[in-house]
Structure 1
Amino acid sequence: MNKRLRKYVASLSLLLGLFHLGLAQSQVLIEAESFDETGGWVVDQQSFPVIHSSYLMAHGMGRPVADAVTHVRFAEKGTYHFWVRTKDWAPFPKGPGKFEVWIDGKPVGGVFGESGKVDWMWYNGGKVTIDRDSVEIRLKDLTGFNGRCDALLFTRSAAEPPQDSVGMASLRKELLNLDDTRKEAGHFDLVVVGGGIAGTCAAISAARLGLTVALIQDRPVLGGNNSSEVRVHLMGDVDKNHYPKLGRIVRELDNGDPGNGNPDAKEYGDKRKTDIIKYEKNISLFLNTHVYQVEMNGDRIAAVIGRDIRTNQETRFTGTYFSDCTGDGTIGFLAGADYRMGRESRAETGESFAPEKSDNFTLGTSNLWASLPVDSVTAFPETPWALPFSDEYHIDETKSDWQWETGFGNMNTITEAEKIRDHNLRAVYGNWSYLKNNKPEKYGKRELAWVAYIGGKRESRRLMGDHVLNQMDVQEGKMYPDATVTATWTIDLHFPQEKNSLYFPGEEFFAGTKHIRVAPYTIPYRCLYSRNVPNLFMAGRNISTTHVAFGSTRVMRTCGMMGEVVGMAASIAHKHETSPRGVYEQHLDELIGMIKD
């Protein structure tokens, strides 16, 4: 390159740099979840697959929460068009999620979240004048009923920001410099995505066998459905194994049985789980990290990319082997793994409990809740936006159990997770409002102590392995040569409760079930790895089963033992430089011997 050309390229680069700097200064994007102080607002990442972001939510159970506060520096003073990205989560006709945005002690743009469309969108807050280098911004909740804010945008342009999810993803990447600031976590022998009981057990098992492990969890605590955020107790036996030593790691994590929806968060042992993981020198723990992208090398996974649900910092993880313990089969789905979702037909599987025709029906999601007695009578507002209850139909309970469940095939548990959770909240708040205002003798001196805002999912994608466990395997107790985990839970398939369907047809939120008891049976190792992504294991509710068999395999102690087996298999695969399938084909005796010993 000659001197004149080099000078031209340098000048052009400078001009382009100045152009992008000016563009960045003319648009200031503030992610709500990245506020300096979230106050009483909570970070919700459950809709990341849809809106490509976390958001803040004012989950006050009917009592306004403390302000979320941040400070923002503006490179340029002057007048900006101001936009707020939010939604009306229950517009019947006006939703309850009202909040205001305050800049330097003054409200701007009016009230947000109370009326509009149920979809996420930008709402115009008018023009604001920024006359200081740094301003204080507050989100001020007005109701305590789950108002939510995704982002704020200050822009010189009068043009409306992109309303679609693809356009918003591009805007975020550009204004937050996501690609330029991405970090490298390094290379790991095993990358475990999903920090529920299955993923946590897989990480511990592999680490104790000498593998370097990254354990990635999209929430601030481990345990998944057994964490204090969801509060489901552990089910499935670990003392009826054909291999009695399998399940030892599950026992370590087990904090006892506090039941479902216990109002005491400590009963679920969040600290116990985290302490055990942090003690393992071979495990690198990454909390608050939602994995949303997979890099492939041919048909193998080369790396996964996660984003911090609060700071939006992106991190890349490379690995030799990966284990999908997300429950939703997220990594497998992104990698192109074969999967199923919904129910197979009876003709396809030969199962007597399968429906005549295949469909999209899945078990639902629960948001548990509990109340506690207080010293004096307390009030709870009327909830015209919630589900309507009456003397004829209400649920007379001081706390919930597993039956408070929404989904049942009329909503997708992945793409409509927020809608499902919100329907659960409309049921909980509507029923509680009825009880408080119509049964004062029993409920006057009670208050809601806890309502889950993170949904406890049961079913979504199931990743297909070399064996698909079915009803006959479960009921007949078939003992395959690669038998590993012993499972004991009934075939437990939920459906809308008949009375609930009568009063809320198509809007059910309360479940029934019929338990089909089984003798202890085993799950083949071939159910724990992908049949078409050569370096992918899976453990948890997303393993290779039919819908009917899944009704038994999905409980958490059983899922934890799957994780233990995956850790062992990964160590053998690493030792012999083979694939998960190679462990089955060439080293099965070694795996079974390890499980025994």
Structure 2
Amino acid sequence: MKRILLFVSGLLLSLHGIAQSRLFVEAESFANTGGWVIDQQSFDVLYSSYLMAHGMGKKVADAETEVEFPQAGTYHVWVRTKDWAPFPKGPGEFRLHVGDKVIEKTFGADGSAAWQWYYGGTVTVPAKKTRLKAEDLTGFNGRFDAVYFSTSKDDTPPNDNLELLAFRKKMLKLTDGPTDAGHFDLVVVGGGIAGTAAAISAARMGLKVALIQNRPVLGGNNSSEIRVHLMGRVDQNHYPRLGRIVRELDNGDPGNGNPDAARYGDQRKMEVVAAEPNITLYLNTHVYEAEMDGTKIKSVVGRDIRTNQEFRFSGTYFSDCTGDGTLGYLAGAEYRMGRESRSETGESLAPEVADDFTLGTSNLWASLPKNESTSFPETPWAIPFSDEYHIDDHKADWQWETGFGNFNTIYEAEEIRDHNLRAIYGNWSYLKNNKGDKYKNHELAWVAYIGGKRESRRLMGDHILTQMDIQEGINYPDGCVTATWTIDLHFPDERNSNYFKGEEFFAATTHIKVAPYTIPYRSLYSRNIDNLFMAGRNISTTHVAFGSTRVMRTCGMMGEAVGYAAYVAKAFGTSPRGVYANHLDTFMGIIESPLNILPVVPLQKN
């Protein structure tokens, strides 16, 4: 009897061990992504990147990787995915291959827009080392977050994003914490024009700088991924010193949505940064945690959007150049989002009642003529167009825009992008299949899958720039960045709104001209986080004033100013506010100098 009990006990332990045989594979970590692209835009929601088959209607090459199972045997399979256009069934269908086996179930077109785990049945793995392959079936943006294998059918992974984050870390063996990347004088989070300029100006003044960007290229909206041209003037400066770095990063004006990616100067920006020995560049790294010491940021944690390796960056000063105000939000900085009321700000252009309205996000696109006729499928899942309403053009400009308070530009970034894609594909399908004489030889050459955002959080500083500051040209003593752009506040195009009320994707605007004016330095640092600067579209303004400050050459000059301010703060061992309160003459002396000057005071040592 005792032997029987021992045998049963051993059998149960053995079965329990088998039940724990599991493998978690992040989609973005596939060694060969093929024609699939890595999308990190929803990291702040999903705490992960994912792979997407962005083929513009043509099947993309398979994504493949080799994995090692705990043991050979039979495994249950789950895939975390969604149907991005369930109207009623979307086009993002794909299948998974495990070794030489094909999972019978297809994924990505199940009629639910929510990210969730889909059970794919069982597969027998003959050897521990096995190849996985994701096969796109449509070319229309199928996507998946992760693949999970377990020898137990009851071992379904969690679906709640926070619970899944803990599960990811455990399965990916990230629970020991991030790798220490070192201590920096200035940690710049965000590698758009503002962040890149901030890093360069600080580095040239002798600061040790970390530049952290969550994409594989620099430039943000001006990169080849998004393709928005630079606006704002650098040649009407009150202070000729500012704008020189922006000029170095400027690759000319290719317009919006140019199909020639090289025209946006990704390589140029990389070369300028690489030439700076004081900059350590971290591409593909998304900052999602701030570690605080009271009201000061002590360090930030970022995760590589492909490998999932985590890094900790400690610093004396930090600059939020994310556009979304991500670092400020994580640190507890005061911020606003949406429009203030007229009674609060006194601005004639403000609405009577405060609301959540924000300028939207654009996904630009372009077609090119071919030497022969081309086709494009019908798209019953896309936004429907007709003879009565369609957009008769071969490419997009800034007007292709979704948001306007109908979507949250941060937490619904994926939904905004997908709405834009449904508009682009639906309109193009209509043009190809109904205006053959004009478009029969045209083919989609490029569609942005990364959204070009305009507005989200604005971090509050000691000064909040207003419409009156701009239109009255008030010259504050700390006015440091010259801005020239109009007050440019977008709103839904009236005709588009008539046809797609609440789901607008096409914008209009009224330009209110202004004379060149200066943005106060006090709008470039947080009023409640002691060591946080900001530059870019997330600085301290009202919604109305933001309409003028948001363009990229102006944002780049903000970055330059922040780099110089960080130098002054470091030199005197003070805070960003302390630069204004006690060392404004030194800071403005650097801003005003027409020459490349040597440091005016020696830097403090750490």
TM range (shorter): over 0.9
Q: Deviations over 1:534-563 (max 9, x none)?
A: 000000000000000000000000000000
Q: Is the 8 A contact 2:338 2:456 kept in 1?
A: yes
Q: State the distance in 1 between where 2:537 and 2:378 align.
A: 39
Q: State the distance in 2 between where 1:135 and 1:486 align.
A: 59
2:448 corresponds to 1:452: yes
Match of 1:353 in 2: 349
**How many percent of aligned residue pairs carry the same amino acid?**
71
Q: Could you tell me how far 1:206 is from its partner in structure 2?
A: 0.1
Give 2:107's match in structure 1, choosing from 109, 112, 125: 112
Q: What amino acid does structure 2 have at the position aligned with 1:284? A: T
Q: Could you tell me how far 1:109 is from its partner in structure 2?
A: 3.9
Q: Is the 8 A contact 2:222 2:228 kept in 1?
A: yes
SS at match of 2:449: coil
Give 1:27's match in structure 2, choosing from 22, 26, 40: 22
Match of 1:551 in 2: 547
Q: State the distance in 2 between where 1:342 and 1:508 align.
A: 17
Q: Could you tell me how far 1:23 is from its partner in structure 2?
A: 9.1
Match of 1:278 in 2: 274
Give 2:254's match in structure 1, choosing from 254, 258, 283: 258
Match of 2:160 in 1: 164
Q: State the distance in 2 between where 1:230 and 1:165 align.
A: 27
Give 1:306's match in structure 2, choosing from 282, 302, 306: 302
Q: Is the 8 A contact 1:303 1:318 kept in 2?
A: yes
Task: Name the count of aligned residue pairs.
Answer: 579
Match of 1:148 in 2: 143
Superposition map of 1:9-88 within 5 A: 26-88=21-83
Q: Is the 8 A contact 2:457 2:538 kept in 1?
A: yes
Q: What amino acid does structure 2 have at the position aligned with 1:359? A: D
Give 2:485's match in structure 1, choosing from 467, 470, 489: 489
Q: Could you tell me how far 1:353 is from its partner in structure 2?
A: 0.3
Q: State the distance in 1 between where 2:89 and 2:377 align.
A: 15
Q: Could you tell me how far 1:181 is from its partner in structure 2?
A: 6.0
Q: State the distance in 2 between where 1:37 and 1:131 align.
A: 23
Q: State the distance in 2 between where 1:188 and 1:575 align.
A: 14
Q: What amino acid does structure 2 have at the position aligned with 1:93? A: P
Q: Deviations over 1:46-103 (max 9, x none)?
A: 0001111000000000000000000111121212110000000000111000000011
Q: Is the 8 A contact 2:240 2:592 kept in 1?
A: yes
Q: State the distance in 2 between where 1:116 and 1:80 align.
A: 26
Q: Could you tell me how far 1:438 is from its partner in structure 2?
A: 0.5
Q: Is the 8 A contact 1:322 1:535 kept in 2?
A: yes
Q: Could you tell me how far 1:117 is from its partner in structure 2?
A: 1.2
Match of 1:12 in 2: none
Q: State the distance in 2 between where 1:354 and 1:23 align.
A: 64
Q: Could you tell me how far 1:25 is from its partner in structure 2?
A: 5.9
Q: State the distance in 2 between where 1:309 and 1:181 align.
A: 16
Q: Is the 8 A contact 1:77 1:132 kept in 2?
A: yes
Q: State the distance in 1 between where 2:503 and 2:311 align.
A: 40
Q: State the distance in 1 between where 2:147 and 2:17 align.
A: 19
In structure 2, relative to structure 1, the CA distance for the partners of 1:22 and 1:569 (3 Å cut) is farther
Match of 2:318 in 1: 322
Match of 1:540 in 2: 536
Q: State the distance in 2 between where 1:551 and 1:175 align.
A: 45
Q: Could you state the TM-score of these two structures normalised by the residue count of structure 2?
A: 0.94
Q: Deviations over 1:107-126 (max 9, x none)?
A: 11411001231010000001
Q: Is the 8 A contact 1:78 1:130 kept in 2?
A: yes
Q: Is the 8 A contact 1:202 1:566 kept in 2?
A: yes
Q: Is the 8 A contact 2:19 2:150 kept in 1?
A: no
Identify the range of structure 1 (23-32 vs 271-280) with the bigger mean alpha-carbon deviation: 23-32
Q: Could you tell me how far 1:128 is from its partner in structure 2?
A: 1.3
Q: State the distance in 2 between where 1:302 and 1:186 align.
A: 12
Q: What amino acid does structure 2 have at the position aligned with 1:336? A: G
Q: Deviations over 1:170-194 (max 9, x none)?
A: 1101101113262111000000000
In structure 2, relative to structure 1, the CA distance for the partners of 1:591 and 1:95 (3 Å cut) is same
SS at match of 1:203: helix
Q: Could you tell me how far 1:157 is from its partner in structure 2?
A: 2.4
Q: Is the 8 A contact 1:93 1:115 kept in 2?
A: no
Q: State the distance in 2 between where 1:277 and 1:23 align.
A: 51
2:397 corresponds to 1:401: yes
SS at match of 2:146: strand
Give 2:181's match in structure 1, choosing from 170, 177, 185: 185
Q: What amino acid does structure 2 have at the position aligned with 1:77? A: A
In structure 2, relative to structure 1, the CA distance for the partners of 1:22 and 1:286 (3 Å cut) is farther
Q: State the distance in 2 between where 1:207 and 1:403 align.
A: 37
Q: State the distance in 2 between where 1:168 and 1:133 align.
A: 25
SS at match of 1:406: coil
Q: Is the 8 A contact 1:462 1:543 kept in 2?
A: yes
The gaps in structure 1 that reach 5 residues or longer are 1-17
Q: Could you tell me how far 1:163 is from its partner in structure 2?
A: 1.4
Give 1:206's match in structure 2, choosing from 188, 202, 220: 202
Q: State the distance in 1 between where 2:304 and 2:406 align.
A: 31
2:422 corresponds to 1:433: no
Give 2:416's match in structure 1, choosing from 413, 416, 420: 420
Q: Could you tell me how far 1:105 is from its partner in structure 2?
A: 2.7
Match of 1:3 in 2: none
Superposition map of 1:96-111 within 5 A: 96-111=91-106
Q: State the distance in 2 between where 1:103 and 1:333 align.
A: 41
2:382 corresponds to 1:386: yes
Q: Deviations over 1:513-546 (max 9, x none)?
A: 0000001111000000000000000000000000
Q: State the distance in 2 between where 1:151 and 1:157 align.
A: 18
Match of 1:7 in 2: none
Superposition map of 1:229-240 within 5 A: 229-240=225-236
Q: State the distance in 1 between where 2:299 and 2:135 align.
A: 40
2:514 corresponds to 1:518: yes
Q: Could you state the TM-score of these two structures normalised by the residue count of structure 1?
A: 0.96
Q: State the distance in 1 between where 2:153 and 2:262 align.
A: 50
Q: Is the 8 A contact 1:490 1:551 kept in 2?
A: yes
Q: State the distance in 2 between where 1:23 and 1:493 align.
A: 60
The gaps in structure 2 that reach 5 residues or longer are 1-12, 594-606
Q: State the distance in 2 between where 1:116 and 1:498 align.
A: 32
Q: State the distance in 2 between where 1:442 and 1:22 align.
A: 65
2:462 corresponds to 1:466: yes
Q: Deviations over 1:294-320 (max 9, x none)?
A: 100111000000000000000100000
Q: Is the 8 A contact 1:27 1:155 kept in 2?
A: yes
Q: State the distance in 2 between where 1:241 and 1:105 align.
A: 64
Q: What amino acid does structure 1 have at the position aligned with 2:222? A: N
Match of 2:600 in 1: none
Identify the range of structure 1 (73-82 vs 40-49) with the bigger mean alpha-carbon deviation: 73-82
Q: What amino acid does structure 1 have at the position aligned with 2:29? A: S
Q: Could you tell me how far 1:582 is from its partner in structure 2?
A: 0.2
Q: State the distance in 1 between where 2:158 and 2:27 align.
A: 17
Give 1:499's match in structure 2, choosing from 489, 495, 500: 495
Q: Deviations over 1:11-32 (max 9, x none)?
A: xxxxxxx99x969962210000
2:128 corresponds to 1:133: yes
Q: State the distance in 1 between where 2:536 and 2:487 align.
A: 16
Q: Could you tell me how far 1:150 is from its partner in structure 2?
A: 0.4
Q: State the distance in 2 between where 1:519 and 1:128 align.
A: 68
Identify the range of structure 1 (179-188 vs 535-544) with the bigger mean alpha-carbon deviation: 179-188
Identify the range of structure 1 (161-170 vs 405-414) with the bigger mean alpha-carbon deviation: 161-170
Over aligned residue pairs, what C-alpha RMSD do you find? 1.3
